[in-house]
Amino acid sequence: MRTILEIKSLTMDFGGLRALDHVDMDINEGEIVALIGPNGAGKTTFFNCITGIYAPTEGDMIISRPGKKKTRINGLKPNLVTEKGLARTFQNIRLFANMTVLENVMIGRHCRCSSGILGAVFRNRATVKEEQKVVEDSYMILEKIGLSEYVNEVAMNLPYGAQRRLEIARAMATEPFVLLLDEPAAGMNPQETRELDDLIVRLRDDEKVSILLIEHDMKLVMSLSDRIFVMDYGKKIAQGTPDEIKNNPAVIKAYLGEETDA
């Protein structure tokens, strides 16, 4: 299996606070990898570093998109990271609430377009054609993710589960090869969580994206993941298959605390 995302010794300091402490991680092609840990462990900071929202203090982040050369993505701006093929969703829903479902997806699609501002102003034939393609592609993505019934609804009027899926649809519109999901099941009921489980597996199998997810729903994590990384206080404390993690003393300690004699 090929490694497609390699994080080496990633460190992030906020003033005197070390939020990430030399974290190593790798994701292989076609894998679903979960990142778990107690609150405040640095999981979201880790995502923010990878996607360019923060510039890490130290460390290397290397991607190798299938069929392309290895590239470092340290210090790239978020929009360039997205162009390189990493897309993400957020813990709290961050859709463009006043825009329609279709528009939300189209925006994600636009970064794969070549026509520039002049095209938008003068509407030459290539631009018009490309715009049509964007609309078609967007419809297709919405259909795959099961949102076709909402195409022209304004995003904020969607039911909660559908909003979560729309976030994934918008991320998928940028044609990522790694999809980073930050607590995708947060606030979902068991039925919605099961659907999400199916959706994530389908994305991996049909769309050939590898998935890195942060999640607190252990049932979902254990059933989905090929491998699990565990973080606590900014450090990676364990990694392995779901079974290995379940029985790892360091993980149990981080979640439940240490037994003390007294």
Partner 1 sequence: MEYFLELFLGGLTRGSIYALIALGYTMVYGIIQLINFAHGEIYMIGAFTGLIVISVLTLLGWNQIAILVIASVAAVIYSCAYGFTIEKMAYKPLRHAPRLSALISAIGMSLFLQNYVLLAQTSDFLPFPCLVPDFEFWEPYSHIITSPELVIIIATTIVMILLTFLIKFTKIGKAMRATAQDRDMAMLVGVDVNKVISFTFIIGSATAALGGVLIASHIGMVNFYIGFIAGIKAFVAAVLGGIGSIPGAVVGSLVLGWTESFFTGYISSDYEDVFAFLFLVFILIFRPQGILGRSETEKV
Considering the complex, state which of residue 120 and residue 250 has its C-beta at the smaller distance from partner 1: 120
78 binds partner 1 per the rule CB under 8 A: yes
99 binds partner 1 per the rule CB under 8 A: yes
Both tokens assigned to 28: 């292989």
53 binds partner 1 per the rule CB under 8 A: yes
For the window 105-124, what string marks contact with partner 1 as x by the rule CB under 8 A? Answer: -xxx-xxxx-x-x--xx---
204 binds partner 1 per the rule CB under 8 A: no
139 binds partner 1 per the rule CB under 8 A: no
Considering the complex, state which of residue 14 and residue 255 has its C-beta at the smaller distance from partner 1: 14
170 binds partner 1 per the rule CB under 8 A: yes
Considering the complex, state which of residue 87 and residue 101 has its C-beta at the smaller distance from partner 1: 87
Residues within the interface to partner 1 (CB under 8 A): 51-53, 77-79, 82-83, 87-88, 90, 94, 96-99, 103, 106-108, 110-113, 115, 117, 120-121, 131, 134, 170-171, 173-174
